[in-house]
Amino acid sequence: PEVPQRMLEVLRHGPLRAAVGRALLSTRARRALLYLPAHDEKKAQKAAGLGVDCVCLDLEDAVATTRKGEARAGAVKALQTVDFGRSDRAVRINPLGTDLAAADLEALFQPNQVLPDTLVVPKVNRTRDLDWLFEKVAILCKGWKKRPELALITQVESAIGLLNLRSIIEYDLQDSTESTIFVMSGLIFGADDYAADIGAVRTTGNMEVMYARQSIVAHAKAYGLQAIDLVNINFKDSELLQREAQEGFTFGFTGKQIIHPLQVTPVQEAYTPAEDKISWAVNILTEFARLQAAGGAGAFTVAGQMIDMPTIKQCQNIVALARAAGKLAAEEANEAEAKEAKEAKEGEQAKEGKEQQPPQSSPQK
Protein backbone atom coordinates (compact mmCIF):
# COMPACT_ATOMS: atom_id res chain seq x y z
CA PRO A 1 0.00 0.00 0.00
CA GLU A 2 1.02 3.59 -0.51
CA VAL A 3 2.79 4.81 2.61
CA PRO A 4 1.42 8.06 4.10
CA GLN A 5 3.77 11.05 4.25
CA ARG A 6 3.81 10.99 8.06
CA MET A 7 4.98 7.39 8.06
CA LEU A 8 7.64 8.16 5.49
CA GLU A 9 8.99 10.79 7.87
CA VAL A 10 9.03 8.22 10.67
CA LEU A 11 10.74 5.63 8.49
CA ARG A 12 13.55 8.03 7.62
CA HIS A 13 14.64 8.31 11.25
CA GLY A 14 16.13 5.77 13.59
CA PRO A 15 18.28 2.71 12.93
CA LEU A 16 15.38 0.35 13.61
CA ARG A 17 12.91 1.76 11.10
CA ALA A 18 12.77 -1.67 9.42
CA ALA A 19 10.36 -2.77 12.14
CA VAL A 20 7.61 -0.66 10.59
CA GLY A 21 8.53 -1.91 7.14
CA ARG A 22 8.05 -5.50 8.26
CA ALA A 23 4.61 -4.65 9.59
CA LEU A 24 3.63 -3.17 6.23
CA LEU A 25 5.13 -5.80 3.99
CA SER A 26 4.63 -9.10 5.82
CA THR A 27 1.58 -8.77 8.05
CA ARG A 28 0.21 -12.24 8.68
CA ALA A 29 -3.42 -13.13 8.07
CA ARG A 30 -5.84 -12.60 10.96
CA ARG A 31 -9.12 -13.30 9.18
CA ALA A 32 -10.50 -14.71 12.40
CA LEU A 33 -9.23 -13.76 15.86
CA LEU A 34 -10.53 -16.30 18.39
CA TYR A 35 -10.74 -15.25 22.03
CA LEU A 36 -10.56 -17.90 24.73
CA PRO A 37 -10.20 -17.58 28.51
CA ALA A 38 -6.52 -18.05 29.24
CA HIS A 39 -7.17 -20.18 32.33
CA ASP A 40 -9.05 -22.87 30.32
CA GLU A 41 -6.38 -25.36 29.23
CA LYS A 42 -8.85 -27.60 27.38
CA LYS A 43 -10.02 -24.74 25.18
CA ALA A 44 -6.44 -23.82 24.37
CA GLN A 45 -5.70 -27.40 23.32
CA LYS A 46 -8.83 -27.46 21.16
CA ALA A 47 -8.06 -24.10 19.57
CA ALA A 48 -4.66 -25.41 18.49
CA GLY A 49 -6.35 -27.82 16.10
CA LEU A 50 -8.88 -25.44 14.55
CA GLY A 51 -6.65 -23.88 11.91
CA VAL A 52 -7.76 -20.40 13.01
CA ASP A 53 -5.54 -17.55 11.91
CA CYS A 54 -5.18 -16.05 15.39
CA VAL A 55 -5.71 -17.57 18.85
CA CYS A 56 -6.02 -14.86 21.49
CA LEU A 57 -5.51 -15.96 25.09
CA ASP A 58 -7.72 -13.52 26.94
CA LEU A 59 -6.82 -12.06 30.32
CA GLU A 60 -9.49 -9.35 30.17
CA ASP A 61 -13.23 -9.73 29.45
CA ALA A 62 -13.31 -13.53 29.34
CA VAL A 63 -11.86 -13.86 32.85
CA ALA A 64 -13.52 -13.09 36.19
CA THR A 65 -11.58 -10.79 38.51
CA THR A 66 -11.13 -13.62 40.98
CA ARG A 67 -9.41 -15.77 38.34
CA LYS A 68 -6.96 -13.27 36.87
CA GLY A 69 -3.93 -14.89 38.48
CA GLU A 70 -4.99 -18.30 37.23
CA ALA A 71 -5.45 -16.88 33.74
CA ARG A 72 -1.94 -15.38 33.71
CA ALA A 73 -0.45 -18.71 34.67
CA GLY A 74 -2.59 -20.42 32.04
CA ALA A 75 -1.44 -18.05 29.30
CA VAL A 76 2.22 -18.55 30.17
CA LYS A 77 1.77 -22.34 30.28
CA ALA A 78 -0.09 -22.46 26.96
CA LEU A 79 2.62 -20.45 25.23
CA GLN A 80 5.27 -22.84 26.54
CA THR A 81 3.49 -26.14 25.94
CA VAL A 82 0.78 -25.90 23.27
CA ASP A 83 1.67 -26.17 19.60
CA PHE A 84 -0.65 -23.71 17.89
CA GLY A 85 0.74 -24.56 14.46
CA ARG A 86 0.44 -21.72 11.96
CA SER A 87 -1.92 -19.73 14.20
CA ASP A 88 -0.77 -16.34 15.45
CA ARG A 89 -0.43 -16.61 19.25
CA ALA A 90 -1.88 -13.48 20.83
CA VAL A 91 -2.55 -12.42 24.40
CA ARG A 92 -5.02 -9.70 25.39
CA ILE A 93 -4.05 -7.97 28.60
CA ASN A 94 -6.19 -5.87 30.93
CA PRO A 95 -6.65 -2.09 30.44
CA LEU A 96 -3.42 -0.09 30.50
CA GLY A 97 -2.51 1.80 33.65
CA THR A 98 -4.14 -0.72 35.98
CA ASP A 99 -2.56 -3.06 38.50
CA LEU A 100 -4.10 -5.94 36.56
CA ALA A 101 -2.28 -4.92 33.36
CA ALA A 102 0.99 -4.47 35.24
CA ALA A 103 0.69 -7.99 36.63
CA ASP A 104 -0.16 -9.31 33.15
CA LEU A 105 3.00 -7.82 31.66
CA GLU A 106 5.17 -9.02 34.53
CA ALA A 107 3.91 -12.57 33.98
CA LEU A 108 4.40 -12.49 30.21
CA PHE A 109 7.74 -10.71 29.90
CA GLN A 110 10.13 -13.00 31.69
CA PRO A 111 13.58 -13.92 30.29
CA ASN A 112 13.94 -17.37 28.71
CA GLN A 113 10.18 -17.68 28.38
CA VAL A 114 8.14 -18.17 25.19
CA LEU A 115 6.45 -14.88 24.35
CA PRO A 116 3.25 -14.34 22.37
CA ASP A 117 3.50 -13.33 18.73
CA THR A 118 1.03 -10.51 19.31
CA LEU A 119 -0.03 -8.33 22.23
CA VAL A 120 -3.63 -7.09 22.10
CA VAL A 121 -4.23 -3.96 24.15
CA PRO A 122 -7.81 -2.93 25.02
CA LYS A 123 -9.31 0.52 25.60
CA VAL A 124 -6.51 2.68 24.18
CA ASN A 125 -7.89 6.22 24.39
CA ARG A 126 -4.84 8.50 24.32
CA THR A 127 -1.16 8.41 23.49
CA ARG A 128 -0.27 8.54 27.19
CA ASP A 129 -1.85 5.08 27.53
CA LEU A 130 0.85 3.77 25.22
CA ASP A 131 3.55 5.59 27.19
CA TRP A 132 2.64 3.49 30.19
CA LEU A 133 2.87 0.27 28.14
CA PHE A 134 6.17 1.09 26.47
CA GLU A 135 7.82 2.15 29.73
CA LYS A 136 6.64 -0.95 31.61
CA VAL A 137 7.82 -3.38 28.95
CA ALA A 138 11.15 -1.57 28.45
CA ILE A 139 11.86 -1.96 32.17
CA LEU A 140 10.88 -5.63 32.15
CA CYS A 141 13.13 -6.37 29.15
CA LYS A 142 16.10 -4.35 30.35
CA GLY A 143 19.28 -6.39 30.30
CA TRP A 144 17.94 -9.12 28.02
CA LYS A 145 20.56 -10.42 25.57
CA LYS A 146 18.00 -10.27 22.78
CA ARG A 147 15.15 -7.81 22.91
CA PRO A 148 11.83 -9.36 21.87
CA GLU A 149 9.70 -8.24 18.94
CA LEU A 150 5.93 -8.52 19.13
CA ALA A 151 3.11 -7.37 16.90
CA LEU A 152 0.90 -4.81 18.66
CA ILE A 153 -2.84 -4.50 18.06
CA THR A 154 -4.81 -1.79 19.84
CA GLN A 155 -8.55 -1.71 20.46
CA VAL A 156 -10.90 1.19 19.76
CA GLU A 157 -13.70 1.07 22.36
CA SER A 158 -14.74 4.66 23.10
CA ALA A 159 -15.64 7.93 21.43
CA ILE A 160 -12.45 9.62 22.63
CA GLY A 161 -10.41 6.64 21.42
CA LEU A 162 -11.92 7.01 17.96
CA LEU A 163 -11.35 10.76 17.86
CA ASN A 164 -7.71 10.29 18.93
CA LEU A 165 -7.08 7.35 16.63
CA ARG A 166 -4.78 9.12 14.18
CA SER A 167 -2.50 10.46 16.90
CA ILE A 168 -2.49 7.05 18.63
CA ILE A 169 -1.47 5.26 15.44
CA GLU A 170 1.25 7.76 14.58
CA TYR A 171 2.61 7.71 18.11
CA ASP A 172 2.59 3.92 18.07
CA LEU A 173 4.35 3.74 14.73
CA GLN A 174 6.96 6.22 15.90
CA ASP A 175 7.71 4.02 18.91
CA SER A 176 8.08 1.07 16.54
CA THR A 177 11.07 2.83 15.00
CA GLU A 178 12.66 3.49 18.39
CA SER A 179 12.47 0.00 19.87
CA THR A 180 12.41 -3.53 18.56
CA ILE A 181 9.78 -4.65 21.05
CA PHE A 182 6.52 -3.66 19.33
CA VAL A 183 5.52 -3.51 15.68
CA MET A 184 2.20 -1.75 15.15
CA SER A 185 0.09 -4.21 13.15
CA GLY A 186 -3.63 -3.57 13.48
CA LEU A 187 -6.77 -2.12 15.03
CA ILE A 188 -9.68 -3.95 16.66
CA PHE A 189 -13.15 -2.45 16.96
CA GLY A 190 -14.83 -3.08 20.33
CA ALA A 191 -18.39 -2.33 19.23
CA ASP A 192 -20.23 -3.12 22.46
CA ASP A 193 -18.03 -0.94 24.63
CA TYR A 194 -18.10 1.81 22.01
CA ALA A 195 -21.91 1.71 21.78
CA ALA A 196 -22.21 1.87 25.56
CA ASP A 197 -19.82 4.82 25.65
CA ILE A 198 -21.86 6.88 23.17
CA GLY A 199 -25.22 5.78 24.61
CA ALA A 200 -26.28 3.82 21.53
CA VAL A 201 -28.67 0.86 21.56
CA ARG A 202 -27.11 -2.25 20.01
CA THR A 203 -29.01 -3.79 17.10
CA THR A 204 -28.35 -6.77 14.84
CA GLY A 205 -28.08 -4.39 11.89
CA ASN A 206 -25.14 -2.49 13.49
CA MET A 207 -26.29 0.82 12.02
CA GLU A 208 -25.54 2.56 15.32
CA VAL A 209 -21.81 1.80 14.90
CA MET A 210 -21.58 2.31 11.13
CA TYR A 211 -19.57 5.53 11.38
CA ALA A 212 -17.04 4.01 13.77
CA ARG A 213 -16.56 0.91 11.64
CA GLN A 214 -15.89 2.91 8.50
CA SER A 215 -13.61 5.32 10.33
CA ILE A 216 -11.52 2.48 11.74
CA VAL A 217 -11.13 0.94 8.28
CA ALA A 218 -10.08 4.30 6.85
CA HIS A 219 -7.47 4.86 9.57
CA ALA A 220 -6.12 1.32 9.28
CA LYS A 221 -5.78 1.44 5.51
CA ALA A 222 -4.21 4.90 5.58
CA TYR A 223 -1.36 3.50 7.69
CA GLY A 224 -1.04 0.03 6.20
CA LEU A 225 -2.59 -1.75 9.22
CA GLN A 226 -5.09 -4.56 9.62
CA ALA A 227 -8.65 -3.73 10.65
CA ILE A 228 -10.47 -6.39 12.69
CA ASP A 229 -14.23 -6.04 12.93
CA LEU A 230 -16.73 -6.41 15.78
CA VAL A 231 -17.54 -9.69 17.52
CA ASN A 232 -20.85 -11.52 17.21
CA ILE A 233 -21.78 -13.02 20.57
CA ASN A 234 -24.78 -14.92 19.13
CA PHE A 235 -22.55 -17.76 17.96
CA LYS A 236 -25.50 -20.07 17.18
CA ASP A 237 -26.99 -17.59 14.70
CA SER A 238 -24.97 -18.65 11.63
CA GLU A 239 -26.99 -16.50 9.23
CA LEU A 240 -26.30 -13.32 11.19
CA LEU A 241 -22.62 -14.25 11.51
CA GLN A 242 -22.23 -14.78 7.78
CA ARG A 243 -24.02 -11.54 6.99
CA GLU A 244 -21.82 -9.57 9.39
CA ALA A 245 -18.63 -11.20 8.13
CA GLN A 246 -19.48 -10.55 4.49
CA GLU A 247 -20.45 -6.98 5.30
CA GLY A 248 -17.18 -6.42 7.14
CA PHE A 249 -15.20 -7.81 4.22
CA THR A 250 -17.12 -5.51 1.86
CA PHE A 251 -16.35 -2.51 4.11
CA GLY A 252 -12.62 -3.24 3.91
CA PHE A 253 -12.00 -5.03 7.21
CA THR A 254 -9.32 -7.72 7.02
CA GLY A 255 -10.74 -9.94 9.76
CA LYS A 256 -13.30 -10.42 12.51
CA GLN A 257 -13.25 -11.22 16.23
CA ILE A 258 -14.88 -14.52 17.18
CA ILE A 259 -15.66 -16.33 20.44
CA HIS A 260 -16.57 -19.89 19.40
CA PRO A 261 -15.00 -22.65 17.26
CA LEU A 262 -18.18 -22.82 15.16
CA GLN A 263 -17.41 -19.30 13.92
CA VAL A 264 -13.93 -20.08 12.55
CA THR A 265 -14.78 -21.56 9.15
CA PRO A 266 -17.57 -19.19 8.04
CA VAL A 267 -15.60 -16.12 9.09
CA GLN A 268 -12.33 -17.16 7.47
CA GLU A 269 -14.17 -18.12 4.29
CA ALA A 270 -15.91 -14.72 4.22
CA TYR A 271 -12.55 -12.95 4.47
CA THR A 272 -10.96 -15.01 1.68
CA PRO A 273 -11.39 -13.81 -1.92
CA ALA A 274 -13.28 -16.25 -4.16
CA GLU A 275 -11.30 -18.22 -6.74
CA ASP A 276 -12.90 -16.42 -9.67
CA LYS A 277 -12.08 -13.04 -8.08
CA ILE A 278 -8.45 -14.07 -7.61
CA SER A 279 -8.15 -15.20 -11.24
CA TRP A 280 -9.82 -11.99 -12.40
CA ALA A 281 -7.38 -9.87 -10.41
CA VAL A 282 -4.28 -11.75 -11.56
CA ASN A 283 -5.40 -11.55 -15.22
CA ILE A 284 -5.96 -7.79 -14.99
CA LEU A 285 -2.61 -7.16 -13.29
CA THR A 286 -0.88 -9.26 -15.93
CA GLU A 287 -2.51 -7.27 -18.74
CA PHE A 288 -1.69 -4.03 -16.96
CA ALA A 289 1.97 -5.09 -16.78
CA ARG A 290 1.98 -5.87 -20.51
CA LEU A 291 0.53 -2.47 -21.39
CA GLN A 292 2.97 -0.67 -19.09
CA ALA A 293 5.87 -2.41 -20.79
CA ALA A 294 4.50 -1.33 -24.16
CA GLY A 295 4.59 2.33 -23.19
CA GLY A 296 1.79 2.70 -20.67
CA ALA A 297 -1.94 3.15 -20.93
CA GLY A 298 -4.76 4.95 -19.20
CA ALA A 299 -7.99 3.02 -19.07
CA PHE A 300 -8.03 -0.27 -20.95
CA THR A 301 -10.41 -3.19 -21.51
CA VAL A 302 -10.26 -6.78 -20.30
CA ALA A 303 -13.08 -9.18 -21.24
CA GLY A 304 -15.38 -6.30 -22.06
CA GLN A 305 -14.76 -4.47 -18.76
CA MET A 306 -13.16 -1.04 -18.60
CA ILE A 307 -10.16 -1.06 -16.25
CA ASP A 308 -8.72 2.09 -14.64
CA MET A 309 -6.34 2.75 -11.76
CA PRO A 310 -8.93 2.31 -8.97
CA THR A 311 -9.64 -1.14 -10.42
CA ILE A 312 -5.92 -1.91 -10.47
CA LYS A 313 -5.76 -1.00 -6.78
CA GLN A 314 -8.69 -3.33 -6.05
CA CYS A 315 -6.90 -6.13 -7.89
CA GLN A 316 -3.74 -5.55 -5.88
CA ASN A 317 -5.79 -5.73 -2.66
CA ILE A 318 -7.40 -9.02 -3.75
CA VAL A 319 -4.01 -10.55 -4.57
CA ALA A 320 -2.61 -9.42 -1.20
CA LEU A 321 -5.59 -10.95 0.67
CA ALA A 322 -5.32 -14.18 -1.30
CA ARG A 323 -1.62 -14.43 -0.52
CA ALA A 324 -2.17 -13.81 3.20
CA ALA A 325 -4.93 -16.44 3.27
CA GLY A 326 -2.70 -19.01 1.61
CA LYS A 327 -4.78 -19.14 -1.58
CA LEU A 328 -1.79 -18.11 -3.67
CA ALA A 329 1.83 -19.05 -3.25
CA ALA A 330 4.01 -16.02 -2.67
CA GLU A 331 5.70 -16.53 -6.02
CA GLU A 332 2.39 -16.84 -7.87
CA ALA A 333 0.87 -13.88 -6.09
CA ASN A 334 3.88 -11.75 -6.89
CA GLU A 335 4.13 -12.84 -10.52
CA ALA A 336 1.90 -10.19 -12.05
CA GLU A 337 3.32 -7.45 -9.81
CA ALA A 338 6.90 -8.53 -10.46
CA LYS A 339 6.27 -8.70 -14.19
CA GLU A 340 4.62 -5.30 -14.04
CA ALA A 341 7.62 -3.75 -12.26
CA LYS A 342 10.19 -5.42 -14.50
CA GLU A 343 8.50 -4.58 -17.79
CA ALA A 344 7.74 -1.03 -16.70
CA LYS A 345 11.40 -0.55 -15.82
CA GLU A 346 12.53 -2.01 -19.14
CA GLY A 347 10.08 0.24 -20.97
CA GLU A 348 11.37 3.29 -19.11
CA GLN A 349 14.97 2.37 -19.87
CA ALA A 350 14.18 1.94 -23.54
CA LYS A 351 12.45 5.31 -23.59
CA GLU A 352 15.43 6.98 -21.91
CA GLY A 353 17.76 5.32 -24.40
CA LYS A 354 15.85 6.78 -27.32
CA GLU A 355 15.88 10.22 -25.76
CA GLN A 356 19.66 10.08 -25.27
CA GLN A 357 20.41 9.12 -28.89
CA PRO A 358 21.75 12.07 -30.96
CA PRO A 359 19.36 13.27 -33.60
CA GLN A 360 20.09 11.89 -37.06
CA SER A 361 21.42 14.35 -39.62
CA SER A 362 19.10 15.20 -42.41
CA PRO A 363 20.22 13.75 -45.72
CA GLN A 364 22.49 15.90 -47.90
CA LYS A 365 20.80 17.55 -50.82
Q: What amino acid positions are annotated as catalytic residues?
A: 308
Q: Which residues contact 14 (CB under 8 A, 6 or more apart)?
A: 177, 178
Evaluate the CA torsion angle 20, 25, 26, 29 in order and state its sign. Answer: positive
DSSP 166-177: HHHHHHHHHHHH
| Gap between the Cα atoms of 169 and 22, Å rounded | 16
Question: How many CA within 13 A on the CB side of residue 110?
Answer: 14
From 161, 219, 162, 215, select the one nearest 186 (Cα to Cα).
219
DSSP 98-136: SHHHHHHHHHH--TTSPPPSEEEE----SHHHHHHHHHH
| Gap between the Cα atoms of 322 and 31, Å rounded | 11
The angle that helices 18-25 and 165-178 make with each other, rounded to 10 degrees, is 120
